[in-house]
Chains A and B, each alone.
Chain A
Amino acid sequence: MNFSLARASLIAEADLVGIAGERAVCDPRGVLYFPDLRLLAVSDLHLEKGSSLARRGALIPPYDTGATLLRLQAVISDYQPSIVISLGDSFHDGGGAQRMHASFRERLEALMAGRDWFWVAGNHDPEAPADLPGETVRELAIGSLLFRHEPSKLRVEGEIAGHLHPCARIVQQGRSVRRRCFAGDGGRMIMPAFGAYTGSLNVLDRAYAGLFRLDTLMAYMLGTDRIFAISRSMLRPG
């Protein structure tokens, strides 16, 4: 089918988005990569969420940390970034790093080795993770970009944030599809949550009010192996 072949060549181009003048790849696995900076950003890992809930009696499978790290390993080995920014809520709670199984800690440290690694403080993990390398920061400015966990109420050009776990929903042919997404208006970008057990919140929810220029807002929905750029007019709440 020529039609779909033609499309395949578009994918790489379509996945490149501009944020305050910098070009970034929205990877369908949920990370943002800036080729010019060799910088990889990932948000809301929520490591050890499983054990955090287990403490309260919900014995959900203890494999979320392993699953999240495995996916992180894959993107890092693909892009080989020199800088990695974990954009906050890297651990589900302050004790997460301590609870982490030794094998997972080793895997994480192997990923960190040889790169500049920044832990941006989040609301779940305001303090530096115990006994792990990397630098903990409140926010981080690189070039025209500003990395922080919670998007600020004021408009900040070039802000990359997480915290809200954006997802988007469309309805086509009487069926509804909901996916995690990057949400961006060209000036600011909110990243999807990366953790295996993280839920999501629709970009049309009032929690996002005032964060975007509505005329240029796009949801970059995560597909199996590509990103689907959907304009605001196609999006549905809920």
Chain B
Amino acid sequence: MTEQPRLAEQNATVALPEPFIRWFGEKGWSPRAHQIELLAKAQAGQSVLLIAPTGAGKTLAGFLPSLTELAVRPRRKPGQAQRGIHTLYISPLKALAVDIERNLGKPVEEIGLPVTIETRTGDTPAHKRQRQKLVPPDILLTTPEQLALLISAGDARRFFDDLRYVVLDELHSLVTSKRGHLLALGLARLRSFVPGLQTIGLSATVAEPDELRRWLVSQNPPKGPTSPDMAELIVVTGGAKPDISILDSEERVPWAGHSARYATPEIYREIKRHKTTLLFVNTRSQAELLFQELWRVNEDNLPIALHHGSLDVAQRRRVEKAMGDNALRAIVATSTLDLGIDWGDVDLVVHVGAPKGASRLAQRIGRANHRMDEPSKAILIPANRFEVLECRAALDANYLGAQDTPPLINGGLDVLAQHVLGCACGAPFRADDLFEEVRTAAPYASLDRSTFDRVIDFVATGGYALKNYERYARIRLNKDGFWRVSNPRIAQQYRLNVGTIIEVPALNVRYVKAGSKGSASRGGKVLGKIEEAFLETLTHGDTFMFAGKVLRFEGIRENECFVSNAPGSDAKVPYYGGGKFPLSTYLAEQVRIMLDDPQRWKKLPEQVADWLRFQADKSVLPKRDDLLIETFPRGNRHYLVAYPFEGRLAHQTLGMLLTRRLDRAGARPLGFVATDYALAIWSLGDMGTMFKARKPSLSALFDQDMLGDDLEAWLADSWLLKRTFRNCALISGLIEKRHPGQEKSGRQVTVSTDLIYDVLRSHEPDHILLQATRADAATGLLDVSRLADMLSRIQGRIVHKALEQISPLAVPIMLEIGKMPVNGEADETLLMDAATLVEEAMGPGMAEE
């Protein structure tokens, strides 16, 4: 640990009140340098971004300016007006707010500060919220959604009158989503209420700290360039270097797959060797599988638990409590954010599957160890051979301190629409003022006026070219130039729909007796929730894995899915859960570099290095900036395998576009499959021969112009765009969210967003909501920007290898064929298959009498 500077050596202008000095003394501590530095900057009136590893005393640092100020504030005299909120703390997690209340309450009590601290989340009872409005605490701990609700209330301006600081925790994770956009807009609103407001951001290490520094303060400051456009930056480096290794398995590392089942005995051995092991996986299905496998080998009956976001809350809390009590030896989890806060004494982190990003790996490992000065110990378990390369790259990157957090994107227009309505619910506004205010929020700094006006128009009457809804306007422009909500019902609706988190339609999973369809009894306990889309593919008697059990699907009744125990059997249906991250651009490049450099293969397990040597022998290894394309026949089909290493989403988009083009060229493509590393397309036509004859040439096939018309044409009907549109429609308030407990509304009351999408696209393709949808899809599910970068990078650098048979490098993706669902577009083929069965059995005329 670095020597902490003595207080006396600190900047003399820092005012740490006497009770604090005494408290530090009693504890035998001294304030850390960054805590004092942050306090000094805050006292000088600046906003600050603090980047520090876990365990560095970030929380206390963040609250020190508030606490010291509150400590010396004169007491309220009887008869004086109630004081408002002094400090607002915002975190992405309810659990974190609750945790902070506990952790902050302790020093406040010990120092003897006259400070009240309370939380306000979705779980806070109504009477307490009511009381908080009348008698606000000094420090309010809350979430972005609650902030949106608070500023949409009629008394918002008065409520925040005394606000001095906003502390934003886990800022790096808040800013990357639409939640971050909503929060940035809320912050802009607060700054307009209280011009001198200071922000303090707490963050893990990120690639571009300046983005966060701008995020924290007003952009395009309306009153001249007096205020800086970036917050002050304090970086705490250090923390002990984590001790990370890649499992060098004695078993054979599989070609493909994500289960890492081969390593189970070795993982179990590590669990036995350590006090408490935290096992991270990338998806829920991996979590379920690993948990099952571990219990299969758990001869000593070690307490091993499972934790992921779909499990029933009560069960999750039990696991978290056991964890806090150090009653568990291992816990299998999907992400730190799913997990509660109290970690107990974790002494080993096992990361199963590749980490997909260097920063993500660092954050996951870092969070498991709460003592900054002790090295965290971590083992990476690659699930297949490509993941070995990826783990190696991530591991090198972590040592080098590389960062690959994604760049921030512009604020969503759907979020802006929600915010505009929220503002109107709070108080009448003038468009000029609100436009200026919105542009002070970093994600909206480059918003232009005409787009803003279209958003207002959307909020008011839907923003359609056909002006049919004037009389149903939600907000109206009055003669005085102010926009007002047309009636109080609009504000009620707004409050029920606030927020940007869209729940995927999911059903409760409930135990019943085997064979009963749940009709007679209401059955046993609820195990958690599963996406409706997955359950729809099941038929009676299918078995699948969930909540650490193998379950038999009995049926669906209203909003519940009935299951029974299916012990001893293997799960028949694989479960493709969400939450899978694409490989980061940075790691992708590192993997390409590694492939190109046989010197670095020495660090790889022997079997993997051998695999690469075979590839060099049978085909070729791609140079770091080349794109290798292999073609070969197999069975009665022809295959094209490309190795762009650009992540599954970009590959999926590329696959869609290439199959369209190959179809036009007469190659008769039949399907494709995409992984994080490669893309395989199979066809009836001989693609290898076609490419050699330059009909078409590969450079024409991979030309960047595919992102023009081809993309448009494919997108138009794509389920990906429909899914994105649904989110935009919900967030923008076009349609209302379905709330838990609320029955599925009848078919007359609601309209499916797919139908709305179809109608809107054919009648007003430039509508602002479609514009927002396309922008979202381009950065999200389609990863178009990444695909565009790749297509421009590989121009003139495509290497075609026409082979007689499959190459070693192609084996992993070829094994995925048939295992992965080919997404979306082939519905008619399936219907054809079903209809054909009937025709074959009965003859075509059977329907006639």
Spell out A's residues near B (CB within 8 Å): 10, 13-14, 16-18, 21, 23, 49, 51, 53-55, 57-64, 66-67, 92, 101, 124, 165, 169-177, 179, 184, 186, 196-201, 218, 220-221, 223-224, 228-231, 234, 236-238
Contact = CB atoms under 8 A, between A and B. Distances in A.
Interface in B529-588: 533, 536-537, 539, 556, 573
14 contacts: A55-B472, A57-B493, A60-B735, A61-B464, A63-B763, A165-B747, A169-B536, A171-B537, A171-B539, A175-B830, A177-B827, A198-B755, A229-B838, A236-B536
B556 A170 contact: no
B1 interface: no
Contacts of A55: 472
Contact of B747 (A61, A198, A238): A198
Contacts of B817: none
B837 interface: yes
Given A59-B734, A61-B464, A62-B466, A171 B759 contact: no
B208 to A, nearest CB: 38
B2 interface: no
Contacts of A53: 751
Contacts of B478: none
Contact of B833 (A54, A172, A176, A200): A172
| Residue of A172, A201, A220 with highest tally of chain B CB at under 10 A | A172
A200 B835 CA distance: 21
A62 B849 contact: no
Which A-B residue pairs are the 6 nearest by beta carbons?
A: A59-B462, A199-B747, A63-B763, A62-B468, A172-B830, A228-B835
Given A57-B474, A223-B828, A51 B469 contact: yes
B740 to A, nearest CB: 20
A21 B849 contact: yes
B848 A230 contact: no
Contact of A61 (B539, B748, B764): B764
B450 interface: no
A123 to B, nearest CB: 9
B635 interface: no
A237 to B, nearest CB: 7
Contacts of A179: 831
Contacts of B762: 63, 67
A17 B848 CA distance: 5
A223 B556 CA distance: 27
Contact of A66 (B533, B750, B763): B763
Contact of A49 (B461, B462, B536, B751): B751
Contacts of B750: 199
B28 interface: no
Contact of B536 (A54, A58, A63, A171): A171
Nearest to B749: A53
Interface residues of B, number: 52
Contact of A173 (B556, B736, B758, B830): B830
Given A184-B847, A230-B834, 18 more contacts: A23-B848, A51-B469, A54-B462, A54-B472, A59-B474, A61-B763, A63-B466, A171-B537, A175-B830, A197-B751, A197-B759, A220-B847, A228-B832, A229-B839, A229-B847, A230-B838, A234-B834, A237-B556
| Residue of A18, A57, A237 with highest tally of chain B CB at under 10 A | A57
Interface string B807-849: 0000000000000010000011011111101110010110111
A62 B464 contact: yes
A58 B831 contact: no
B427 interface: no
B756 interface: yes
Nearest to A201: B747
Contacts of B838: 229-231, 234
B81 to A, nearest CB: 38
Nearest to A237: B556
| Residue of A101, A124, A201, A238 with highest tally of chain B CB at under 10 A | A238
B431 interface: no
Contact of A16 (B537, B556, B848): B848
Contacts of A200: 747
B844 A63 contact: no
Contact of A60 (B536, B539, B734, B844): B734
Contact of B573 (A66, A174, A199): A174
Contacts of B835: 228-230
A10 to B, nearest CB: 5
B194 to A, nearest CB: 33
B153 interface: no
B711 interface: no
B489 interface: yes
A98 to B, nearest CB: 13
B537 A223 contact: no
B837 A234 contact: yes
B114 to A, nearest CB: 46
Given A176-B536, A199-B752, A234-B837, A186 B849 contact: yes
A189 to B, nearest CB: 11
Given A66-B763, A177-B831, A224-B828, A60 B848 contact: no
Interface in B705-756: 734-736, 747-748, 750-752, 755-756
Nearest to A224: B828
A167 to B, nearest CB: 10
Nearest to B818: A173
Interface in B750-781: 750-752, 755-756, 758-760, 762-764, 767
Contacts of A229: 835, 838-839, 847
B594 interface: no
